[in-house]
Amino acid sequence: MSRRSRPAAATAHAGGAGGPLVAVCQGRRCSALRELAGGQAAVPELRDAVGGTRGAVLVTLDCPGACALAAVAAVAHWDGGEGGAGRAVWLSGVDDRGRAGALVEWVRAGGPPPRLRPDLAVPPALADAVVGVGPPPRLADGRRPPVDG
């Protein structure tokens, strides 16, 4: 397991309005677990959900160093444009089809609301996937979006 990760890359963005910021690990272990579980389709489904959700951003991560919790994803509220991102809730086991589907539906519903700890807004289907709350993922240029709370 590597503790180093390359900076994340934003792969989708729908305008300057706020919405969910979703980070998905694309590291070796997370990708392999999704493939073994038949959940590789979850990433394109998530990409489609982000593309159809106002203000949503999808960020791919090389490896955030949470391999023991694989496959992982993080969700935060993004204020859009030059605005900041709130704290991120980290989810484990998103290789599971049920969790992956619940994540897609949460994104379509707008993700966590602004100024609320994201773990307090997690849908019931993802409650047992929560492993922690932390700063939002880094952007491609190495910056972290400013944290709002």
Contact 44, 99 (CB under 8 A): no
Report the SS3 class of residue 145: coil
Spell out the domains of the chain, with CATH numbers in brackets. 9-134 (3.40.30.10)
* CA nearest to 29, candidates 94, 76, 103: 94
Is residue 140 pLDDT above 70, yes or no? no
Joined together, the tokens standing for residue 93 give 């086991």
**Cα–Cα distance for residue pair 35/38, rounded to 1 Å:** 5
pTM: predicted TM-score of the whole model, two decimal places: 0.79
Contacts 24+ apart (CB under 8 A), 141-146: 141/7, 142/7, 144/85, 145/21, 145/78, 145/84, 145/85, 146/83, 146/84, 146/85
**Cα–Cα distance for residue pair 8/23, rounded to 1 Å:** 8
pLDDT per residue as tens digits for the range 99-139: 999 999 999 999 998 888 888 999 999 999 999 998 877 65
pLDDT per residue as tens digits for the range 74-102: 999 988 766 678 889 999 988 888 999 99
| 94 Cβ neighbours under 8 A, 6+ residues apart | 24, 34, 39, 42, 71, 72, 73, 100, 103, 129
